[in-house]
Amino acid sequence: MWQARHIEARLRSLYPTMQTHLLGMTTEGDRVLGTPLSKIGGKGLFIKELELALESGQADIAVHSMKDVPMNLAAGFSIAAITEREDPRDAFVSNLYRNLESLPQGSVIGTSSLRRASQLRARFPHFRVEPLRGNVQTRLRKLDEGRYAAVILAAAGLKRLGLSARITAILEPAYSLPAVGQGALGIECCTERSEVIAALAPLNDADTRWCVEAERAFSRALAGSCQVPLGGFAEISGGSARLRGFVASPDGSRMVIDEFSALRSGMPQELGNAVAQRLIAKGAREILAALDGLAE
């Protein structure tokens, strides 16, 4: 709802006479909280009901965290705009410890993400990484109740909700590679709504969109989903862009990581595909094949 209100405010500032209405919806991803997303269908569970509302004309636009948007949109839908990125990094949150290094052996860390869990297990095999679902406030409450020594959350979500003070430490991308699209908001509509797409154009941030499209191409090339521990993060500096990505086994025992740079003037998909191919050359396909075997 914060995301929807934020875009509503942006639209009202652009178009003062525009009438807006927020249609709050609870998705399947919101309702099923006792099971990891990787076991109940993945990212699409957060947008299916919203796309039905768009298709029926009940809603004109839907606002998503880009990290929750499946790599392949359903036919007839488009991401009309991606707004300027908030902090894309992960945040370490604890009431007792300053950072991951200070946690005692056997400490329980909560996270909803296979991506975060695999990186934690690779670096800190002596921790217990346990599932943590629910909205930000629910996750923080579970931490405060003592169920976890620490939790890992997206810094963007905490900052947007005015909860920056809860961040104990920021995990830099070199330490915890973010999810594809993390920190970026996307606005979805039906592809045929050309007038809506035109109205949303001023909200699009070109650099953020370029980076997110590179990250999504990388993930798409590796069949990335909630079932795959995968991260990808692109940054633009001057006239060049760099994308760093990884694929890992859920227990962190196998991980391949690489990066590549390209001109910002090029196509973002080419950079994403290049990094994916570098990981494939290092054994990503074998890791993914083992994951398919586990799923069966």
CATH of the domain at 1: 3.40.190.10
Residue 176 lies in a domain: no
> Mean pLDDT for the chain?
91
* Each residue's pLDDT tens digit, 14-33: 999 999 999 988 765 554 44
Range of the domain at 96: 90-171
What pLDDT score was predicted for residue 212?
Answer: 98
Task: Indicate whether 70 and 193 sit together in one domain.
Answer: yes
What kind and span of H or E run contains 280?
A: helix 268-281
* Each residue's pLDDT tens digit, 189-231: 999 999 999 999 999 999 999 999 999 999 999 975 557 899 9
* pLDDT for residue 135 is more than 50: yes
Average pLDDT over residues 38-59: 76
**Does the active-site annotation cover 60?**
no
The one-character DSSP state at 203 is G
Closest CA to 1 of 116, 110, 160, 156: 160
What pLDDT score was predicted for residue 33?
Answer: 47
* pLDDT for residue 296 is more than 50: no
Task: At 159, give phi and psi (nearest 5°).
Answer: -65, -40
What pLDDT score was predicted for residue 47?
Answer: 86
Task: Indicate whether 217 and 152 sit together in one domain.
Answer: no
Q: What is the pTM of this model?
A: 0.89
Return the amino acid letter for 245: G
Task: Indicate whether 254 and 127 sit together in one domain.
Answer: no
Residue 28 lies in a domain: yes
Return the percentage of the chain with pLDDT > 90, whole number: 83
Q: At what angle do helices 268-281 and 206-221 cross, to 10 degrees?
A: 30
What pLDDT score was predicted for residue 233?
Answer: 98
Task: Indicate whether 23 and 78 sit together in one domain.
Answer: yes
